[in-house]
Amino acid sequence: MRLDNSERLFARARRLIPGGVNSPVRSFGAVGGTPPFIVSGSGARVRDADGNEYLDFVGSWGPLVLGHAHPSVVEAVQRAAADGTSFGAPTERELELAELITRAMPSIEMLRLVNSGTEAAMSAIRIARAYTGRSKLIKFNGNYHGHADGLLVKAGSGAATYGVPTSAGVPLGYAAETLVAEYNDLPSVEALFDANVNQIAAVIVEPVAGNMGVVAPADGFLAGLHRLCDDNGALLIFDEVITGFRVAYGGAQERYRMRPDLTCLGKIIGGGLPVGAYGGRADVMQMAAPLGPAYQAGTLSGNPLATAAGIACLQELAKPGVYEALEALGAETEAGLRAAGDAVGVEVTVNRVGSALTAFFAGSPVTTWEEAASSDTGRYAAFFHGLLQRGVYVAPSQFEAAFVSLAHTSEGIAFAAEQAREAMASL
Ligand SMILES: *Cc1c(COP(=O)(O)O)cnc(C)c1O
C-alpha cells in the first residue's frame, strides 16, 4: 500500500497545524505511521489521497450511523445551504430537531443546541452548578466528556494514549473541583459523596463507556448512581454524546430504562455536521439565559446546515427495523473478531453494546478502566496496521470504539473478520 500523497500532505500539515491534525488521535501517535488523508467516503467505505480504499469502522468517531454521504443527509444539507447558511436568528429546523430529540428521550423536557459534545458537557455542568449552588463534580476514571478545563482529568483515550492524565494549561484550581471515581464501582462514588457533604453539584457519566474502549455498565450501576445523586441533592448527567441514537433510538437511557436529570448529546444528532445538545428537567434547564442566570450562547448554534443534517439522520433512524439491523451487524462483527482470535490463538476480549464494540488485547474481562488499561497496546498497534494494509480502517488506539453503520453489510463484515484473522495471525 502506497501513501505517497498522504505523506506529502502530512509533512505540509505538520508545519502549520500542531501534529498535522485538528484532533490529536488522528495523528496516529499511539500506533505510529502516516495517517491516510481522506478525500471521500460513500456508504461504509472511504478513499484516501493515494486512491486506497478502506472499509471504515471509525465512522467519524460515531456520528455516521447511516454511513458516509447518505443521500437523505446530502440532499437535506444541499437544500438548506441554498436557502442561506446562517442567520443568527431562530429557525424552524431548530424546533424540529428539538422535537425529535425530546420525543426520543422523555427525560429531556427542554434542551439547547450547541456546536460540539465538548460544549454540551461544559454547559450541562455549568447549569447543574447554577441549579444546585454547588461547585464540585464527580466524573469517572476513563470517561471522556470533551476537552473543557476541569474535565481533562483521567479522561480516557486521548489522555491515556498520550500519557497525560491531566492536561497542561488547566489551572489546578479547576481540576480540584473534579473528583474522580471508578467506573462500575458504586462504593467509590459513595466515598466521594461522604467526604464532600453538600458540595457535589453533579455526577457525569458515560452510561456506556466508549472512550476507554466500550465497557457496558454493570447491573445496577446506573440505577445506583441515580439513587446516590438523589440522596445527596446532586444531579445525574448522562453524557450520551456517543450512545444517544446509537445503542437505541432513545440512547442508553432507553436501553437501561433510566431517567437522568440532564443529558449531553452530539455526534449522531448532527448527522456528520457539528452539533451538540444538552437538556433535561425543565426546572433545571430554565436556569439557562435568557430565562435564568446561567449564561450560555453561540453564534452558530442551531445552524441551518447542521440541523438539516441532524433531522434527516434522526428521521432515517426512526424507521422500523433500524436498531434490530444495527444489533445484528454488531453481533456479526463481534462474532467475527472472537472467531479470528480463537482461530490463531490470540487472546482478545470483545466488548459490545449494539453497534459499538472494542476488541481488547486482554485475556480477561474488561469492566473497569484498570482492566482496559492492562491491554497490550503494542499488539493493538500491530493489529491496527495489519488491518489498514488489508483495507480495513479502525481507530488508531486500543481505547476507542469501533462503530458499525447501517451501510455495512454481512459480506463486508465477513471480509473484515477474515482480514482480522490474517492480521492477528501475523502478530
Ligand atoms: C466525542 C465525545 C465528547 C466530545 O464531543 P466533541 O464533539 O468531540 O467535542 C464528549 N463526550 C463523549 C462521551 C464523547 O464521546
Give per-residue pLDDT as tens, 393-415.
999 999 999 999 999 999 999 99
Q: Is the pLDDT of residue 162 over 60?
A: no
| pLDDT at position 173 | 82
pLDDT at position 176, please? 85
Cell 436557502 belongs to 83
Question: Ligand 1 pocket, 118 CB below 6 A?
Answer: yes
Contacts for 269 with CB less than 8 Å, ≥ 6 apart = 97, 101, 244, 245, 275, 276, 277, 310, 313, 314
Amino acid at 49: A
- Whether the pLDDT of residue 425 is over 90: the answer is yes
pLDDT confidence bin for 41, thresholds 50/70/90: very high
Cell 462503530 belongs to residue: 403
**Whose CA is closest to 274, among 100, 61, 102?**
61
Asked whether the predicted pLDDT for residue 343 surpasses 50, the reply is: yes
CB 275, CB 115: distance < 8 Å: yes
What mean pLDDT do residues 378-401 have? 97
Number of other CB atoms surrounding residue 70 within 10 Å: 23
What pLDDT is attached to residue 159?
55
pLDDT confidence band for 166 (50 / 70 / 90): low
Q: Is 67 in the pocket of ligand 1 (CB under 6 A)?
A: no
CA distance 207 to 227: 15
Q: How far apart are CA 319 and CA 101, in angstroms?
A: 15
Residue 79: how many other CB atoms lie within 10 Å: 13
pLDDT (average), residues 70-89? 98
Count H helices, E strands: the chain?
A: 15, 14
Is the C-beta atom of 246 inside 6 A of ligand 1?
no
pLDDT of residue 157: 62
Check: CB of residue 202 under 8 Å from CB of residue 128: yes
267 included as an active-site residue: yes
H or E segment and range at residue 416: helix 410-425
Condensed to tens digits (0 to 9), the pLDDT of residues 130-161 reads 999 999 999 999 999 999 988 888 776 665 54
Cα 227 to Cα 377: distance, rounded to the nearest angstrom: 36
* pLDDT over 80 at 164, yes or no: no
Which class for 374: exposed (0-12), middle (13-18), buried (19 or more C-beta within 10 A)?
A: middle
Nearby residues of 309 by Cβ (< 8 Å), 6 or more positions away: 73, 76, 77, 270, 271, 272, 273, 275
Distance (angstroms) between ligand 1 centre and the Cα of 239 equals: 8
Q: Is 287 in the pocket of ligand 1 (CB under 6 A)?
A: no
The residue annotated as part of the active site, out of 48, 56, 185, 239, is 239
Helix axes 410-425, 377-389, angle to 10 degrees: 120
99-139 confidence digits (pLDDT tens): 999 999 999 999 999 999 999 999 999 999 999 999 999 99
What is the phi/psi pair of residue 293, to 5°? Answer: -90, 0
Residue 346 alpha carbon to ligand 1 centre in Å = 32
Are 161 and 397 spatial neighbours (Cβ–Cβ below 8 Å)?
yes
pLDDT band at 163 (very low <50, low <70, confident <90, very high): very low
Whether the CB-CB separation of 269 and 277 falls below 8 Å is answered with: yes
Other CB atoms within 10 A of residue 306 CB: 28
Q: Which is higher by pLDDT, 161 or 349?
A: 349
- Choice from 114, 183, 211 to test ligand 1 binding pocket (greatest atom count within 8 A of CB): 211
Question: What does pLDDT average to over the chain?
Answer: 96
Q: How far apart (Å, rounded) are the C-alpha atoms in residues 123 and 298?
A: 11
Which residue from 125, 143, 144, 204 has its CB within 8 A of the most atoms of ligand 1, so it is best to mutate?
144
pLDDT score recorded for residue 156: 67
Answer yes or no: 4 catalytic: no
Looking at the predicted structure, is the pLDDT value of residue 68 above 50?
yes
Q: Judge whether 308 and 93 are in contact, CB under 8 Å.
A: yes
Share above pLDDT 70 across residues of the chain, in percent, rounded to a whole number: 97
Helix (H) or strand (E) holding 317: helix 304-317
- For the four alpha carbons of 379, 382, 386 and 388, in that order, the dihedral sign comes to positive
Torsion sign over Cα 164, 364, 338, 409:
negative
Nearest Cα residue to 311 out of 44, 72, 61: 72
Q: What is the mean pLDDT of residues 37-61?
A: 98
Active site includes 139?
Answer: no
Atom 10 of ligand 1, residue of closest alpha carbon: 145
| Nearest atom (ligand 1) to Cα of 274 | 7
Ligand 1 centre to CA of 121 (Å) is: 8
Could you tell me if 236 and 202 are in contact, meaning their C-beta atoms sit under 8 angstroms apart? yes
Protein residue whose Cα sits closest to atom 14 of ligand 1: 241
List, for residues 189-206, the tens digit of each pLDDT value: 999 999 999 999 999 999
308, pLDDT greater than 70: yes
Containing H/E element for 223? helix 221-231
Q: Report the pLDDT averaged over residues 364-370.
A: 95
